[in-house]
Structure 1
Amino acid sequence: MTDQPLWKIAVDTPLPEALTYLPIPEGPELQRGQLVNVPLKKRTAKGLVLGPSTASLNPDIVLKSVQSVDEEYPALPEHFIKWLEWLAHYYIHPVGMVASLAYPPLSKPQQVRKSSRPPVIPIMESEVPPEMTPEQKTCFETISQFKKFSSHLVFGVTGSGKTEVYLRLLEKTLAEGKTGLVLVPEISLTPQLIHRFARRFGDKIAALHSQLTDRERTTQWWDIIEGRKSILIGARSALFCPIQNLGLVIVDEEHEPSYKQDEKLKYHGRDAAVMLAKMADCPIVLGSATPSLESWKNTLEQKYHLHTLRNRVANRSLPDMSVVDLRGEKASEEAQQLKQEKYSELPFWLSPLLFEKMKATLEAGDQAALFLNRRGVAQMVLCPACGHTRECPNCDINLTLHHHSHLVCHYCDYHESLKEKCPDCKEGHLEAMGLGTELLENDLAKLFPDKKISRADRDEIQNRADLENLISDMESGAIDILVGTQMIAKGLDFPKLKLVGLVLADVGFNLPDFRATERSFQLITQMSGRSGRHVKPGENPGAVVVQTYNPEHDSLVFAQKHDFEAFAQHELNNRSQLSYPPVGKLIGFRIQGNHLRVVQDAARLLAKRAQALKAQFPQYEQVEILGPAEAPLAKLKGKFRFHLLLKGPQAGIINAFARQTMGNEEWVPTGIKILIDVDPMNLL
């Protein structure tokens, strides 16, 4: 056995632990945080130096030496390495694969190439900051007193000016010579926010998000690392840029489910940001009009400081909300008769109330937005003669009709042409059932032929330019009616938008997920919050019309009163009875493969291992094992899927339990993949 020091290297490969290597022969001393090149099987791989190894090794193992240090990248800061190690441990993901996310996609540009694309951060005229409201001022001054790690929740109604508080806090951070990190949930939020930041901070901003090319990402990364820029705005992946001298982290719309990554490293951007701030010892500010129950519970337990903005800026009033009960049979005979006489030309999805409010809004020269969380013309096609529906051959899901002629799977992109005759009974004709944004757009064009209608969903908005064009058309008033999916519900601010209609609020009510009610409440409140953001005191407030078959649904009852606190209390009581998050902790296993029987057997074997482990160790007594059961989406992209859930009182306990259940994974049958999801946000 050699007397040379050994080194732990986190290599970019799906091995749970770091590997052990000898130092570079005759080379410089290694240090923690360096990126190195190491031999791995028959190739050279990149790895992060985690430090000297104290592992006692089998004397028969022949160790290899580190080949060289990658001089291109500076060593990672200590707080950042600790954070990467925490991510790997908490989310049960190979440490080398986590570390690989800390580097840009391409090597450093030697000279800056001229790009024909628009700049990542546009050049904007600088603005004079507006006067802060008393609430904003109190919020800013209170948070400013904290210099070290502390968590703050800014709970402000929609339109209360949370962004202005963020801008002031960042100005202060920069004045102290430190850097800031701002996370936003989706690319759809970034254009308006980036413009606002560019007007205040000019060329001090870099941005990282999915709509950038690899070259743009790499350039933005180096701009932050080498100190040319001092504020980084981005989606959740911006966390992995190893910013030096971090003074403030902000997570806007912290409740958004899109902060959770569903593939590979299944981390939650908000939770990871809190840990990053803790390791960097700087304050973190989370903001939302509809905080997640996780964050709300943390304020109730005084782990987070709560700052409340109860009023909209300039005392603008919150919109008036009307709920339309779509269960027509409850209407009086007079109402039904009136509908037949006066509104017979309305499509089935449009209530007289929403139609009249749209007419009045458009006549006043204002804008209306209709929201429906479903794309396409119809959710399914069905043969009324035999009941046959067209399903995707790769996924356990109905195909959606687009353009009246095209059937598409929204999960794997399978598509086929719509055949008129039923392929099953050969007699009936396939008919479109249900509702999608494309159908809304077509129907509205007939009702309002002289109005400009635009659609915002994944079919229409494919890239950054599409989105920026849509936003500037809404801001300039070129669009009269906007139809969209949840893409339009988030953080956007349009001065002339006075009416918001939720066409079918029920879409999210009955999903097989314990968070369905919370999501619905957030979506209804956030979507309502787009309305009447710029009405002056004394003017009519904006209006919201919610159409539903379930007017008594919890999420609606509380949203109508704009009462988040009562909603949160009610929902936390419901959750605590079943120990669902945020009261208890969850870990999900997804077992998937190509053959149903093999997947089923592997799922049972996993459950058996879990039951045996629980019986053997008293510390796991409180862990509940749920399943295995077929996933609600039982087949996706050709793979059969089963779920097994662990539920327990503390993260540490079920985390250790999940690791032990998986063991060295040698028992996993060939062709089977088991994916672990810590704190799952999506159980479909």
Structure 2
Amino acid sequence: MNVVKVAVDAPLLDPLTYLQNSDFTVSRGDVVNVTLGNRNVKGFVLSAFTTTQEEINKEFGKEVKLKPVASINEEWIKLKDPYLTWLEWVAEYYIHPIGQVMNLAFPPLAKQTKTRASKRPPVIPNLAPKPKPELTPEQKKCVESISLNSGFKTHLIHGVTGSGKTEIYLRLFEQCLEKKQKGMFLLPEISLTPQLVNRFVERFGDQVAVLHSQLTDRERTNQWWEIIQGEKNILIGARSALFCPVDNIGLIVVDEEHETSFKQDEKLKYNGRDCAIMLAKHNNCAVILGSATPSLESWKNASENKYQLHSLVSRVADRPLPEVTITDMRLEKENSERKSIIPFWLSTELFNRMTVSLANNEQVALLLNRRGMAQVVFCPSCGYTADCPNCDISLTLHARHHLVCHYCDYHQNFEVKCPDCSEGELTPLGLGTERVEEDLKTLFPDKRIARADRDEITNRVEMEELINNMEQGEIDILIGTQMIAKGLDFPKLKLVGLLLADVGFNLPDFRSSEKSFQLITQMAGRAGRHVTGDESPGSVVIQAYNTEHESLQFAQKHDYVGFAEHELLNRSPLKYPPFQKMLSFRVTSMSQEKSQTTAKYILARAQALKEKYPQFYSQIEVLGPAASPLSRLKNQYRYHLILKGTKAVELNQLARQIISDEKWIPAQVKVLVDVDPMSLL
């Protein structure tokens, strides 16, 4: 019997066995149509081999009649190695249905033969080439020490903000194209701005393709075909661009490699940075990770010489790093210089500096990682707070007249009278970007103020418009959430303020200090990126209540290395990543009892397997189960367990054995496995 193993596009961890069709023969990498139950589904051929009916019956433990492959799916290209082996690795490592992983390699729509007129702006602009800037000695040394000819190697470029990492990438992509190879450039979704794409187009013209979620399905499909058919040679994209089956790759770059948005939280919970490293390994090419604030995982690998470290300690043209001031908001009430017009959230220091900067026609940017008007509304008379009926979380006040849940999007109108005691009046507490914008309009009525958060900026066109307005100097004050902290470069921006900078310190997550330090440093790096020798440097004012926190102290001194060493010392005794690997199970159900019982059953299965196979699992630690910090979201009760161990293979094997026979999972309960979780909330 001639048979094939087919990864079907269905929630099955392992491939299925089908007969070769007598009318045609399929082989590894072919996209086919097969019958699954009583429906037709897409499948991907992993192997073809010869066997006997007896062997098949033995494998299944019963008499089995195999179905033949129905047809070859002519529309799609055949998947080739080494790309196909990489897809198999992704499915194996992240414990995800292999056919669903394979399906990510294809665009959302069928290929279009006729082109229709589009009213949207073009994905990639047509720009005239610009002259190349002179490399600094540091940049030159970095480019020369990275070889694209010596096979697979991981390089970490640790460069302060404004040190010219992008120019290094451009020079290396030039070398890659000279070798007649293709390149892939990945960066976080929020950094995928026209500014960045334009720099590549100015250098490489029509060689550039772009893939990210803000494109329409048709745009994504067209860009996919252009790179697959060899019309374009450099693919720029967010994490999902990894799944475009580009052949002949000579270089992969992951910029802002520390960003948590490289990790996908839904369905296939993969980390784009880690998958990019493995894709480079399968293609035997160089991979470059770049960041001003590398993840501690990457930093530890570099300090142990697993990655080659390249340091850029100076900004381009020896521009000075901004001066950072920390303001203690606890002392503001007693500040005798404080004017009555200054709103409660603004320090005298930042107000005075804003006044001076604006008088000098310089731009100001304020970061507050919270949307809306206020985080909580409560009744001082009875203590009632407005909470979401679907989630264990307070509703956020927006526009002074409606309350919103940022997790499930529940809305209700804001009534001033307390619905609980009918006597007190609901009072807004806390702060959000909307409130800051409103107060600034009162404080600086003649200034042009813009807000950048997910309420205000909902698509690519709005983001492009905002960046253009900042570049043209048509905005005086920009307020935003973390979307303004990453990768943006505004020549007139001299002053940056961070409001409630300590808001992330106390989250129940072992990475909270690291994430806070990264956000503060990245945002501070937006200030004074274009000051010349005779100008004063940019300045940063960090407002906080917990001013002694090490994230702030190290950020003030621009001391990433000091922070990394301090944080690694804290994590080492607890064996948190990067010292050990971690894997989490999240159990969700609309029934709290079912969710809790299932989580306890997972613990029992884990302990039983540890006892049965001590030679493999004795070193693995099982933590939990416990209710997740956000214990109810979208009416789902959430419990989690964590496995910790030194070897990823053993954690993976134990997790697979725990969920192997899914019949034990009750109806209406979901068990999700997250390998290398980025957040434990």
Question: Does 2:235 align with 1:232?
Answer: yes
Return the match for 1:184 from 165, 184, 187. Answer: 187
Separation in 1, partners of 2:502, 2:149: 43
SS at match of 2:282: helix
Instruction: Work out the percentage of aligned pairs sharing the same amino acid.
Output: 59
Q: 1:80-479 maps to which residues of 2 (within 5 A)?
A: 80-144=83-147, 146-328=149-331, 336-339=335-338, 343-479=339-475
SS at match of 1:74: coil
**Partner in structure 2 of residue 11 of structure 1:** 8
Separation in 1, partners of 2:658, 2:148: 46
SS at match of 2:82: helix
Contact persistence 2:595–2:637 (CA under 8 A): yes
Q: How many residues align?
A: 673
**How many Å apart are 1:663 and its aligned residue?**
2.2
Structure 1 counterpart of 2:377, one-letter code: V
Q: 1:570-649 maps to which residues of 2 (within 5 A)?
A: 570-618=566-614, 619-649=616-646
Structure 2 counterpart of 1:621, one-letter code: S
Contact persistence 2:497–2:540 (CA under 8 A): yes
SS at match of 2:78: coil
Question: Does 2:665 align with 1:665?
Answer: no
Contact persistence 1:188–1:467 (CA under 8 A): no
**How many Å apart are 1:483 and its aligned residue?**
0.1
SS at match of 2:119: coil
**Partner in structure 2 of residue 537 of structure 1:** 533
Structure 2 counterpart of 1:338, one-letter code: E
Contact persistence 1:11–1:18 (CA under 8 A): yes
Structure 1 counterpart of 2:103, one-letter code: S
Contact persistence 2:210–2:236 (CA under 8 A): yes
Structure 1 counterpart of 2:620, one-letter code: V
Separation in 2, partners of 1:323, 1:336: 15
**How many Å apart are 1:666 and its aligned residue?**
1.0
**Partner in structure 2 of residue 551 of structure 1:** 547
**How many Å apart are 1:113 and its aligned residue?**
2.3
Separation in 1, partners of 2:380, 2:192: 42
Separation in 2, partners of 1:76, 1:228: 19
Structure 1 counterpart of 2:77, one-letter code: P
Contact persistence 1:628–1:643 (CA under 8 A): yes
Separation in 2, partners of 1:551, 1:566: 17
Contact persistence 1:372–1:502 (CA under 8 A): yes
Contact persistence 2:390–2:635 (CA under 8 A): yes
Structure 2 counterpart of 1:443, one-letter code: D
Return the match for 1:519 from 509, 515, 519. Answer: 515
Contact persistence 2:337–2:348 (CA under 8 A): no
Separation in 1, partners of 2:215, 2:150: 33
SS at match of 1:144: coil
Separation in 1, partners of 2:156, 2:102: 29
Contact persistence 1:187–1:209 (CA under 8 A): no
Separation in 2, partners of 1:187, 1:383: 37
Separation in 2, partners of 1:437, 1:155: 31
Contact persistence 1:36–1:70 (CA under 8 A): yes
**How many Å apart are 1:557 and its aligned residue?**
0.9
Separation in 1, partners of 2:389, 2:504: 25
Contact persistence 1:224–1:232 (CA under 8 A): yes
SS at match of 2:2: coil
**Partner in structure 1 of residue 19 of structure 2:** 22
Contact persistence 1:500–1:544 (CA under 8 A): yes
Structure 2 counterpart of 1:234, one-letter code: G
Contact persistence 2:494–2:538 (CA under 8 A): yes
Out of 181-190 and 253-262, give the one that drifted further.
181-190
**How many Å apart are 1:652 and its aligned residue?**
1.1
**How many Å apart are 1:435 and its aligned residue?**
0.2
Separation in 2, partners of 1:57, 1:395: 44
Structure 1 counterpart of 2:630, one-letter code: L
**How many Å apart are 1:614 and its aligned residue?**
1.5
Separation in 1, partners of 2:612, 2:190: 48
Query: Over residues 477-508 of structure 1, what are the superposed CA-to-partner deviations in whole Å (9 max), with x where a residue is unaligned?
Result: 00000000000000100000000000111111
Moved over 6 A (4+): none
**How many Å apart are 1:344 and its aligned residue?**
1.4
Separation in 2, partners of 1:644, 1:458: 32
**Partner in structure 2 of residue 32 of structure 1:** 28
Structure 1 counterpart of 2:641, one-letter code: L
Structure 2 counterpart of 1:505, one-letter code: A
Separation in 1, partners of 2:80, 2:250: 14
**How many Å apart are 1:5 and its aligned residue?**
1.6
Separation in 2, partners of 1:214, 1:189: 17
**How many Å apart are 1:114 and its aligned residue?**
2.3
Structure 1 counterpart of 2:427, one-letter code: E
**How many Å apart are 1:146 and its aligned residue?**
4.1
Contact persistence 1:249–1:285 (CA under 8 A): yes
SS at match of 1:505: coil
Out of 62-71 and 479-488, give the one that drifted further.
62-71
Separation in 1, partners of 2:573, 2:496: 36
**How many Å apart are 1:145 and its aligned residue?**
5.3
Separation in 2, partners of 1:592, 1:673: 5
Contact persistence 2:148–2:250 (CA under 8 A): no
Separation in 2, partners of 1:423, 1:124: 58
Return the match for 2:80 from 63, 77, 84. Answer: 77
**How many Å apart are 1:59 and its aligned residue?**
5.1
Separation in 1, partners of 2:23, 2:337: 92
Separation in 2, partners of 1:535, 1:486: 24
Out of 101-110 and 145-154, give the one that drifted further.
145-154
Separation in 1, partners of 2:439, 2:608: 59
Separation in 2, partners of 1:228, 1:76: 19
**Partner in structure 2 of residue 679 of structure 1:** 676
Contact persistence 2:192–2:237 (CA under 8 A): no
SS at match of 1:666: helix
**How many Å apart are 1:81 and its aligned residue?**
0.7
Separation in 2, partners of 1:176, 1:336: 64
Separation in 2, partners of 1:593, 1:624: 25
- Give structure 2 stretches of 5+ with no counterpart: none
**Root-mean-square deviation over aligned CA pairs:** 1.1
Query: Over residues 407-437 of structure 1, what are the superposed CA-to-partner deviations in whole Å (9 max), with x where a residue is unaligned?
Result: 0011111000001111111111100000000
Structure 2 counterpart of 1:438, one-letter code: E
**How many Å apart are 1:365 and its aligned residue?**
0.6
Query: Over residues 516-549 of structure 1, what are the superposed CA-to-partner deviations in whole Å (9 max), with x where a residue is unaligned?
Result: 0000110110000000000002310000000001
- Give structure 1 stretches of 5+ with no counterpart: none
**Partner in structure 1 of residue 487 of structure 2:** 491
Structure 2 counterpart of 1:337, one-letter code: S
Structure 2 counterpart of 1:120, one-letter code: V
